[in-house]
Chain A
């Protein structure tokens, strides 16, 4: 088991119902994509937030990553929708 800090933004945050949490992840969770799949098993709120998995953006330690990126060593993993600033 590895402990990881997760932060959520915009409608991902609203649907999950919290803006951050620390979770213990099983060793089978290797990539960002694995993390999304694992979270969806944790409850309806995660299922609702991550329903359209391919639109969810992932950042590790403040940098964008693809879903196949390995999460080992991550201090902070952020999940959020496509960005709409500017």
Chain B
């Protein structure tokens, strides 16, 4: 089984360091895809996102998703890191790194992991407005469900 690394943490992560760790000692990998998701300021109206998670299940669910992606796309390695707590605009929220002999599998694997992570990993975002008020919980989007469902069509 290809190595799968999953972390759920309050602290930031370093893209280059995670790619380097994934590649350490490997000479068989031909393609690495990294995706990182960041907090947007929504045209200056948002001061922070607060991410709540379900400790234990969050890690377990992301691991299940990554392992499915490894099997489905024959990935050589996968890393997924998701932050929780208060995150300011411009800061990282999530990182996915996938590796494969050729590029398509790595692209598809990263896409698959993100589509399922958004709809199945137990995280919830609350928005804090720039004026100090709370805008409330972000609603789940239908297009995220559609993005996930395309992987189950024949």
Q: A residues bordering B, Cβ < 8 Å? A: 7, 9-11, 59, 62-64, 78, 80-86
Contact = CB atoms under 8 A, between A and B. Distances in A.
A83 B82 CA distance: 14
- How many B residues touch the partner, as a band? 20 to 34
Contacts, number: 73
A80 B124 CA distance: 9
Contacts of B52: 9-10
A84 B140 contact: yes
Interface of B: 37, 51-54, 56-57, 60-61, 82, 93-94, 114, 117-126, 136-140
Nearest to B124: A10
Given A10-B137, A11-B137, A83 B124 contact: yes
B54 A85 contact: no
Nearest to A14: B137
Q: Residue among A78, A80, A82 with the most chain B CB within 10 A? A: A82
A85 B57 contact: no
Nearest to B64: A63
Contact of A83 (B60, B93, B122): B122
